[in-house]
Amino acid sequence: MAKHIGDLPHAITNGKELAVRLAGKTPAVFLDYDGTLTPIVDRPEDAIISESMRDAVRGLATRCPVCVVSGRDRPVVQELMGLDNLIVAGSHGFDIWSPTGGSIEKEHGGEFATLLEDVNKQLHAVMDPIEGALVEPKKTSVAAHYRLVAEDERPKVKAIVDQILAAHPDHLKVTPGKMVYEIQPKIDWDKGKAVLYLLEALKLDRDDVMPMYFGDDITDEHAFAALEGRGIGVFVGHADDPEVGGRTTYADFILHTMEEVEQFMDGLAR
Ligand SMILES: [Mg+2]
Q: Which residues are catalytic?
A: 32
CATH class of 110-185: alpha beta
Ligand 1 being an ion, which residues bring their Cβ within 5 A of it? 32, 34-35, 216-217
- The one-letter amino acid at 5: I
pLDDT tens for residues 169-209?
Answer: 989 999 888 899 999 988 777 899 989 989 998 899 999 99
How far, in Å, from the CA of 88 to the mean position of ligand 1?
15
Q: Report the pLDDT value the prediction gives residue 108, as an integer from 0 to 100.
A: 58
Q: Report the pLDDT value the prediction gives residue 91, as an integer from 0 to 100.
A: 85
How far, in Å, from the CA of 81 to the mean position of ligand 1?
15
Neighbours of 172 (CB within 10 A): 21
Please report the DSSP string for the chain in residue order: --EEGGGPPBTTTTHHHHHHHHTT-EEEEEE-SBTTTB---SSGGG-PPPHHHHHHHHHHHTTS-EEEE-SS-HHHHHHHH--SS-EEEEGGGTEEEETTTEEEEPP--GGGHHHHHHHHHHHHHHHTTSTT-EEEE-SS-EEEE-TTS-GGGHHHHHHHHHHHHHH-TTTEEEEEETTEEEEEE--S--HHHHHHHHHHHTT--STTEEEEEEE-STTHHHHHHHHTTTSEEEEES-TT-TTTTT-EE--SEEE-SHHHHHHHHHHHH-
Q: Report the pLDDT value the prediction gives residue 110, as an integer from 0 to 100.
A: 62
Query: Bigger pLDDT: 243 or 21?
Result: 21
Do the domains spanning 3-107+189-269 and 110-185 agree at the CATH topology level? Answer: no
How far, in Å, from the CA of 68 to the mean position of ligand 1?
11
Would the pTM of this model clear 0.85, i.e. be above it?
Answer: no
Domain boundary assignment for the chain:
3-107+189-269, 110-185
Whether the per-residue pLDDT at 122 is higher than 90: the answer is: yes
pLDDT tens for residues 147-170?
Answer: 999 999 999 999 999 999 999 998
Whether the per-residue pLDDT at 84 is higher than 70: the answer is: yes
Residues β-bridged to residue 4: 248
When pLDDT is averaged across residues 64-84 and rounded to a whole number, the result is 93
How far, in Å, from the CA of 71 to the mean position of ligand 1?
9
Lowest mean pLDDT among 12-26, 87-101, 165-179, 228-242: 87-101
The CATH code of domain 3-107+189-269 reads 3.40.50.1000
How far, in Å, from the CA of 58 to the mean position of ligand 1?
19
pLDDT tens for residues 218-247?
Answer: 889 999 999 999 999 999 999 888 887 778
Separation between Cα atoms, residue 211 and residue 208, nearest integer Å: 10
Separation between Cα atoms, residue 263 and residue 16, nearest integer Å: 15
How far, in Å, from the CA of 219 to the mean position of ligand 1?
8
Q: Sorting pLDDT into bands at 50, 70 and 90, what band is 109? A: low
Q: Report the pLDDT value the prediction gives residue 236, as an integer from 0 to 100.
A: 97
